Structure 1
Amino acid sequence: MSVSQFSGSLGLTETARLDALVFGAAPPDAPGVAVAVLHKGNLIYQRVRGLASLAHQLPLTDRSVVRIASQSKQFTVMMILMLEAEGKLSLEDDIRDHFPWLPDWGSQVTLGHLASNSSGIRDILDSMIMAGIPITAPSSRSAAKAIVARQKTLNFAPMTDVLYSNSNFLLLSELIEKVTGKSFNEALEHYITGPLGMTDTQLMVRDDEIYPRLADHHRRGPQGQWLKSAWGIAIGGEGGLVSTLADMIIWQQNLLEPKVGTAEMIERMGRPYVTINDVASPYGLGLVNTRHKGVSLVGHGGWIAGSRSESFRATADDVSIIVLSNHDDFSSFGLARDMLDIVLGRDPGGVISPEGIAALKTRYGFWRSDDGSFVLALEESSGLPAIVGSMGVSALEEAEPGKFHARGSLPPFVFSLNTDGSILTETFGRSRRYRRVEAPGQIGNDLFGTYGSAESGLTASIDNVDGRRIMRVTSPFGAALLSLDACDADMYLARPSEADIHDQWRIAPWVLPWLYTVRIGSDAIVFNSDRGRDVVLARLA
């Protein structure tokens, strides 16, 4: 749809369909969702459903304060662009010119590389999980910076790939504080929230902080019950902001007709910053370009323990959708797009054809790349095919007939099913072939031992404990006891140990299929996750 076909108002039928969709996503006695639809900046639909506090039966409202997670990144980038306009920095600056404590990666990493997720710096959350730092336990900002500073190598050379990494925006957050001489919250209020009157939008570093009207955040427990969720890592402009539906409406209006920043800045944020092999990156500068059933969208989503969010604008139709929540047990990405379908008079869903579903069902199981480094799985989830990686289980979408990708803002690749039985992934014009893992191997006793890396500071000891392969990982920052579950002859999936299964939430506050893979060789082991590649630990004993 290149030309708007939306009349600008909702009829009774569309309103009723939206109500049914939203109410189905948030029962009245459960944690809730808050949604809004704008047309040309004008509010045409708003609903808030569910509870801000289960214990006290307090309803969620449009002024309930909730985490917006990675939607924070657009505020961080906006401030960077405003500081650039003031002549205080440039997107062409080498980040090491501002922070000499960062290592020399052998390639210049600029502020633009950070803001576009094209730097190659490993994701700080994945690095923390590898280092054994409990995500839910309090940890300092200095520890996070120290982990980034230990990374002597990159996932890839800057501008040669795009991979989502919170480390990029951690550094930009720190830079804002250094350049302005203000705390992040003070800078945010000075440049954005103060002038716009977004009085409830601010940085909440950890979940032990208290703010007026702050909603409890929730996750599902092992038995499916609701539990309060907590976030321990000190988090900044990469994902630490809280806001309200009322404030996020103001922000969407500002992205359309800016009172802070400029139209040129906002256009730059949504424009692809990197083109690789003639393929434009979907990630701009703090905003992401996606397409939904032929409609171009610009926005960002967010996911943190106990919260999911999504906001975007359908550019041709000038329709904006906002979804906030105080729980993470649903897809805000999917809900927002289903809402858009109803607004535009279409049926929600239908993002994968019956033929595609039938073909994918023949490929369920584990798959490994020919180069041996990467693992994925296909399985059924909620009755439909899904793809599995270290970041979780994702529904699939058919980009075009026979080509599929994870249903999310920044899928790592598009893949197709080859007639020879293999799977072929494509990323920026580059392909990688995966073959089915027929049966897991068994680790040999000669490979038990201790491995270490001076770069990452990690030490891993692999032992046989009561017939199970157990890996103890230690670092200067934490420790973890993990099970190694066989995936292939030399490839294992690192998961929380069964002995610590009730401690799953200490390691990562969401259920992950695996934390990372461990490839075991004769003289080294290699860790790989979706956002952290080729962490090598040499054999010590």
Structure 2
Amino acid sequence: MKNIFAKAGMLLTLSLIFLHHTSVMAQDKLTEIDKIFNWTSEKAPGCVCTVSQHGKVILNRAYGSADLERKVPLSVNSVFDAGSLAKQFVAAATLLLVEEGKLSLTEDIHQYIPELPDYGFKITLDHLLTHTSGIRDWTGMMPITNGDPDALKLVMRQRGLNFAPGDEWDYSNSGYVLLKEIIARKTGNSFAAFANARLFEKLGMKSTSYKDDLRDIIPDRALAYEKKNNNWKMMILMDNDRGGGGALMSTASDLVIWNDAITDARLGKFVTAKIQEPATLNNGRVLGYGRGLFLDSYRGVKEIWHSGSAAGYKGWLGRYPEHGLSIAILCNSGDGTNRMQFAHRIVDLLVDAADLKDQTKNIPGEITDSAALAALDLKSRAGLYFNDRTGEPVRIQYDGIRLRIANGPALAAIGKNRFKSVGAIVQYMSQDEFELNFVSKDLIELKSMEGLVTTLHRARMYAPSADELRAMQGRYASDEIGTAFTVTAGDGMLIIQLEHTPEKKLPFKPVDTNAFQGGMMIIRMLRNDKGAVTGFEYGNPVLRWVKFRKTE
């Protein structure tokens, strides 16, 4: 009998030692997470971070200030503008109505908003949900428009598309503006009312609401800031600065409730499956985007995430379902707040090291020998090129080791004139794993993963004469955007002003035949059969070739 009690006592002691050791290890990891946010202080804005594992919150902490003027610290109850984190809620609301038979993913959206222009193509709800509609993103138009229209009105008067629906993926806030309008029309109530009743209240997200008017009183709201000249400035989007479409206001802990609800299929099997189902292009390419969610991986671990940004508010929400891990980070500290990097450092701490892989991407057949690379003269291949199919600019850079595409992937040399994209992300060329073949120093063939070949030509030397520049002077207007530019000749360039803000003058320098660039904007002159300038096409990173006609 004594031996039995002795063995039982020994087992109990070992169990307590194990539990104590586990507790110490867990506490050590939480302390390491605190260090991720050690850049914050009580005199500066910061972040709130909530982490759950297997449905249990293991960390819920606030770092920094919610209100610098009144010296109010951030707390775990602080409410933030979640920016584009709202898209997964819009997607879920849409899918609930689809499941109930009130909407159809495959029906033409003109059935729901008949006053939309005829685009010449069928656009479906699923195109809107998956960013494959081709509808122009209002954020690329609002900065130059006149009259302060809301996003919906601006979207409704667009007659052209960036591309044929389903042909490409291109992030478009406009699609989600239309989805909220469709939900409101179909339910006879605002999207805010629908979301509050069918999503937030149902899931117990007590501190979350969708606000049509951000001037409403919102308890525990944290203010947002941006650092300018080493000083903090309040930076919050209101009214039409954010398109007039309202905002999702939430806490980090409520967003973890949302994440766990998707993991546990609390919205039902259909919504849960569809919101995470990869989108597919017309050519059969499967994308790393579902409906309001990026479908990705980090170090070999499945990652489902989205970010949000609204002026100084920066958010990130992600799940790692294979490890039962959920992370929400909401910040009020503006640009430079790399919340995805913060989240990945948390993953590194909480996921078993044996399950994490090296992120290095090895390209079969890549030339790595320094002498062989030197012989390729990579630097000479860098420069500005134009896509002959879309007209879009492609800037190839040399980083001292590899060629890479600006805002895109690195390029691995796999032959004398052949290069392979290193990795593929949905945000660049619709996740294409493409190859480049330098046919000559001025011509490139781009071959898509499906075998489609497109040519890129190097920007041609273009030096218009003073007379040619003067012939381009005049007023150029677009009723789609609702604005007009005044163009005058400068010294070897064009000077362009928005008619409603004449004090702002932008130099546009020639970069290709009939093409001029100012910052991230490009205009391409249009001519009639006699060579006279009749207008121009305007493009920027999210807007393809809106026509402006020359009126004088």
What SS class does the counterpart of residue 207 from structure 2 fall into?
coil
- C-alpha distance 197-372 of structure 1, shift in aligned 2 (>3 A): closer
113, 118, 123: which one pairs with 1:104? Answer: 118
**Residue 464 of structure 1: CA displacement?**
3.5
1:142-183 C-alpha deviation (Å, 9 max, x unpaired): x42222121112111211112111111101111222122222
**Residue 229 of structure 1: CA displacement?**
0.7
- C-alpha distance 460-426 of structure 1, shift in aligned 2 (>3 A): farther
For residues 413 and 90 of structure 2, what CA distance do their matches in structure 1 show?
Answer: 34
What SS class does the counterpart of residue 486 from structure 2 fall into?
strand
Q: Does 2:214 align with 1:214? A: no
What residue identity is the alignment partner of 1:337? H
What residue identity is the alignment partner of 2:112? H
**Residue 54 of structure 1: CA displacement?**
1.7
2:495 is matched with: 470
2:511 is matched with: 488
**Residue 353 of structure 1: CA displacement?**
8.6
2:477 is matched with: 452
For residues 409 and 475 of structure 2, what CA distance do their matches in structure 1 show?
Answer: 39
What SS class does the counterpart of residue 334 from structure 2 fall into?
coil
63, 66, 71: which one pairs with 1:49? Answer: 63
Q: Does 2:168 align with 1:161? A: yes
For residues 351 and 14 of structure 1, what CA distance do their matches in structure 2 show?
Answer: 26
1:277 is matched with: 283
1:258 is matched with: 265
Q: Which aligned pairs between 1:505-520 and structure 2 lie closer than 5 A?
A: 514=520, 516-520=521-525
- C-alpha distance 263-10 of structure 1, shift in aligned 2 (>3 A): farther
**Residue 520 of structure 1: CA displacement?**
2.9
Which of 13-22 and 115-124 deviates more?
Answer: 13-22
For residues 427 and 479 of structure 1, what CA distance do their matches in structure 2 show?
Answer: 43
What SS class does the counterpart of residue 297 from structure 1 fall into?
strand
2:492 touches 2:509 (CA, 8 Å); kept in 1?
no
2:235 is matched with: 229
What SS class does the counterpart of residue 214 from structure 1 fall into?
coil
Q: Does 2:274 align with 1:268? A: yes
2:51 touches 2:328 (CA, 8 Å); kept in 1?
yes
1:191-238 C-alpha deviation (Å, 9 max, x unpaired): 0111222122222346544311111111232x2432111313445897
Query: RCO (CA 8 Å, sep 6+): is it higher in 1 or 2?
Result: 1
Aligned residue pairs, count: 497
2:293 touches 2:304 (CA, 8 Å); kept in 1?
yes
Q: State the TM-score, normalizing by the size of structure 2.
A: 0.78
For residues 189 and 200 of structure 1, what CA distance do their matches in structure 2 show?
Answer: 11
For residues 397 and 445 of structure 1, what CA distance do their matches in structure 2 show?
Answer: 41
What SS class does the counterpart of residue 91 from structure 1 fall into?
coil
**Residue 521 of structure 1: CA displacement?**
4.1
31, 35, 44: which one pairs with 1:20? Answer: 35
**Residue 243 of structure 1: CA displacement?**
0.6
User: Where does the alignment leave 5 or more consecutive residues of structure 2 unmatched?
Assistant: 1-21, 415-419, 528-532
2:541 is matched with: 530
Root-mean-square deviation over aligned CA pairs = 3.9
What residue identity is the alignment partner of 2:129? A
1:509-540 C-alpha deviation (Å, 9 max, x unpaired): xxxxx3x3222344331111222111122333
1:171 is matched with: 178
Q: State the TM-score, normalizing by the size of structure 1.
A: 0.79
**Residue 91 of structure 1: CA displacement?**
1.6
1:505 is matched with: none
For residues 219 and 352 of structure 1, what CA distance do their matches in structure 2 show?
Answer: 35
2:177 touches 2:245 (CA, 8 Å); kept in 1?
yes
For residues 204 and 76 of structure 1, what CA distance do their matches in structure 2 show?
Answer: 13
What SS class does the counterpart of residue 544 from structure 2 fall into?
coil
For residues 235 and 360 of structure 2, what CA distance do their matches in structure 1 show?
Answer: 31
What SS class does the counterpart of residue 96 from structure 2 fall into?
helix
For residues 349 and 34 of structure 1, what CA distance do their matches in structure 2 show?
Answer: 29
31, 50, 75: which one pairs with 2:89? Answer: 75
**Residue 366 of structure 1: CA displacement?**
4.1
Which of 299-308 and 115-124 deviates more?
Answer: 299-308
For residues 544 and 518 of structure 2, what CA distance do their matches in structure 1 show?
Answer: 15
For residues 405 and 239 of structure 1, what CA distance do their matches in structure 2 show?
Answer: 36
For residues 206 and 480 of structure 1, what CA distance do their matches in structure 2 show?
Answer: 32
1:291 touches 1:297 (CA, 8 Å); kept in 2?
yes
2:486 touches 2:497 (CA, 8 Å); kept in 1?
yes
1:463-485 C-alpha deviation (Å, 9 max, x unpaired): 1468873222358xx88844133
138, 144, 169: which one pairs with 2:151? Answer: 144
Which of 29-38 and 364-373 deviates more?
Answer: 364-373
Q: Which aligned pairs between 1:313-324 and structure 2 lie closer than 5 A?
A: 313-324=319-330
What residue identity is the alignment partner of 1:69? G
For residues 232 and 189 of structure 2, what CA distance do their matches in structure 1 show?
Answer: 38
**Residue 280 of structure 1: CA displacement?**
0.7
- C-alpha distance 365-20 of structure 1, shift in aligned 2 (>3 A): farther
**Residue 332 of structure 1: CA displacement?**
2.4
1:480-506 C-alpha deviation (Å, 9 max, x unpaired): 8441332613433345xxxxxxxxxxx
What residue identity is the alignment partner of 1:20? K
**Residue 281 of structure 1: CA displacement?**
2.2
What SS class does the counterpart of residue 43 from structure 2 fall into?
coil
2:194 is matched with: 187
What SS class does the counterpart of residue 534 from structure 1 fall into?
strand
2:6 is matched with: none
1:22 touches 1:49 (CA, 8 Å); kept in 2?
yes
2:141 is matched with: 127
What residue identity is the alignment partner of 2:44? A
For residues 78 and 277 of structure 1, what CA distance do their matches in structure 2 show?
Answer: 26
236, 243, 247: which one pairs with 1:240? Answer: 247
1:255 touches 1:266 (CA, 8 Å); kept in 2?
yes
What residue identity is the alignment partner of 1:155? N
2:384 touches 2:395 (CA, 8 Å); kept in 1?
yes
1:219-273 C-alpha deviation (Å, 9 max, x unpaired): 232x2432111313445897721111121111111111133x2133111111123
What SS class does the counterpart of residue 336 from structure 1 fall into?
helix
What residue identity is the alignment partner of 2:36? L
